[in-house]
Amino acid sequence: MIQFEKSELLKALPKQFFASLVEKVGAITAEGHDVINLGQGNPDQPTPDHIVRRLQEAAQNPINHKYSPFKGYSYLKEAAAKYYKREYGVDIDPDKEVAILFGGKAGLVELPQCLLNPGDTVLVPDPGYPDYWSGVAMAGAQMEYMPLLEKNDFLPDYPSISKDTLEKAKLMFLNYPNNPTGAIANSKFFKETINLAQKHSICVVHDFAYGAIGFDGSKPLSFMQCEGAKDVGIEIYTLSKTYNMAGWRVGFAVGNSSVIEAIELIQDHMYVSLFPAVQEAAAAALLESQECVDQLVDTYESRRKVLIEGLNEIGWEVSAPKGSFFAWLKVPEGFTSEAFADYLLEHAHVAVAPGIGFGTYGEGYVRTGLLTTEDRLREAVDRIRELKLFK
């Protein structure tokens, strides 16, 4: 059999760090151990019934068995615009300012290929979602990292970025509520971002994957709510987290019309849009009762309370996330993030994601998800307590 060599493009892609975590968890599980997996980012609740029913009904309609328009059906774009008007008070033109995506990840990976040329500079958060790196690699672009430090509330410190870097930068990725830190952004920060982007002609891509998940009565701020946001960038929204539709692969981008046009152009060459029944179900999710979303946020907030209070009670001093379904926890002295994650997995059979997998400035932390029951979270705390790592 001929072994065909991979392209230089594939060879240049970043290593999938978390594949090794999956292998480690699988190995421990194969030995017969019960692993409490807090390292994943996969929602554990089912998609709400009314959305599933809409899919079932739509799948029986023969019109949905045909190719849909390359750019998707207008009713889903209109639903996205109505969603933004209802939730954020933002006016969105469904014809020019909405692009339907095969999940948020697809849009994030496509964007550098839409707007950048080889050698161009991209500003990326560190720590941050690793798939930002994938799109940059595919475009042959260069990354400059923006450290997210606890002392700055895990927001980039723009004055610390060199003038030369800002002059070269063409694209910036942001993500609030943040994966992995659980931090949120405020209007002051977004205004600073818009001013910086206008001054240096930088396209801002705000990854709003966890936009529905805020705690303590606080609703996360959309980048589009800030005056001038559409002038300098877009926001990517996925239904994966808000409606537990991760496997459905549906999301959308809103904002700057020239960027939307570029996304739709690349997708014209790659896809023939989403299965129409999924588009109908997505529109139903956005437009019908949002009680399921309120209940979901309540569930995550209750789980957050169990985990954070439990860990503090055993002497692990940690802070509660302000948004997302992740908690960002400092590792004890004497451990690297990966060594601590390995130790918890081996000795407590609790899986967490090492911070170094999210970037250099993720070292010293682990990420845990709120994606299992309160009882399992309590058991995870009890198992960690037995290790006697904390006074």
| pLDDT digits 0-9 by tens, 41-50 | 899 999 999 9
- The answer on 195 and 264 residing in a single domain is yes
What pLDDT was estimated at residue 219? Answer: 95
- Indicate whether 17 pLDDT > 80: no
Over pLDDT 90: what percentage of the chain?
93
Query: Total domain count for the chain?
Result: 2
Kindly state whether residue 200 falls inside one of the protein's structural domains.
Answer: yes
pLDDT digits (tens, 9 = 90+) for 357-369: 999 999 999 999 9
Confidence of residue 19 (pLDDT cuts 50, 70, 90): confident
Kindly state whether residue 226 falls inside one of the protein's structural domains.
Answer: yes
Given 270, 287, 304, which residue is the final one in a domain?
Answer: 287
- The answer on 219 and 366 residing in a single domain is no
- CATH number, domain with residue 151: 3.40.640.10
- The answer on 255 and 208 residing in a single domain is yes
Phi-psi group of 388: left, alpha or beta (phi > 0 → left; psi -120 to 50 → alpha; rest → beta): left
Confidence of residue 246 (pLDDT cuts 50, 70, 90): very high
Task: Calculate mean pLDDT across residues 212-233.
Answer: 97
Kindly state whether residue 52 falls inside one of the protein's structural domains.
Answer: no
Given 240, 259, 287, which residue is the final one in a domain?
Answer: 287
Confidence of residue 260 (pLDDT cuts 50, 70, 90): very high
- The answer on 245 and 225 residing in a single domain is yes
Question: Going by C-beta distance under 8 Å and a sequence separation of 6 or more, which residues neighbour residue 125?
Answer: 132, 145, 146, 148, 156, 173, 174, 175, 178, 359
CA distances from 43 to 38, 237, 281, 293, 370 (A): 11, 16, 18, 13, 9
Rounded to an integer, what distance in angstroms lies between the CA atom of residue 223 and that of residue 225?
Answer: 5
Kindly state whether residue 193 falls inside one of the protein's structural domains.
Answer: yes
Kindly state whether residue 265 falls inside one of the protein's structural domains.
Answer: yes
Q: What pTM value is reported for the model?
A: 0.96
- The answer on 251 and 136 residing in a single domain is yes
pLDDT digits (tens, 9 = 90+) for 304-329: 999 999 999 999 999 999 999 999 99
Averaged pLDDT of the chain = 96
- The answer on 295 and 278 residing in a single domain is no
- The answer on 280 and 296 residing in a single domain is no
Q: What is the domain extent for residue 364?
A: 8-46+291-386
At 307, the amino acid letter reads L
pLDDT digits (tens, 9 = 90+) for 54-106: 999 999 999 999 999 999 999 999 999 999 999 999 999 999 999 999 999 99
Kindly state whether residue 57 falls inside one of the protein's structural domains.
Answer: no
- The answer on 179 and 103 residing in a single domain is yes
Cα 277 to the chain's mean position, in Å? Answer: 24
CA distances from 53 to 56, 76, 176, 191, 278 (A): 5, 17, 31, 41, 11
Kindly state whether residue 61 falls inside one of the protein's structural domains.
Answer: no
Residue that is written with structure tokens 């997708």 in the block: 267
Pick the range with the lowest mean pLDDT from 5-19, 103-117, 339-353, 354-368. 5-19
- The answer on 299 and 177 residing in a single domain is no
- CATH number, domain with residue 374: 3.90.1150.10
Given 259, 287, 315, which residue is the final one in a domain?
Answer: 287
What pLDDT was estimated at residue 16? Answer: 79
Task: Calculate mean pLDDT across residues 269-297.
Answer: 96
What pLDDT was estimated at residue 250? Answer: 97
Both tokens of 293, joined, read 């979303």
What pLDDT was estimated at residue 332? Answer: 94
- The answer on 193 and 298 residing in a single domain is no
- The answer on 323 and 237 residing in a single domain is no
- The answer on 353 and 246 residing in a single domain is no
Nearest C-alpha neighbor of 113 from the set 195, 180, 205: 205
What pLDDT was estimated at residue 20? Answer: 80
Kindly state whether residue 206 falls inside one of the protein's structural domains.
Answer: yes
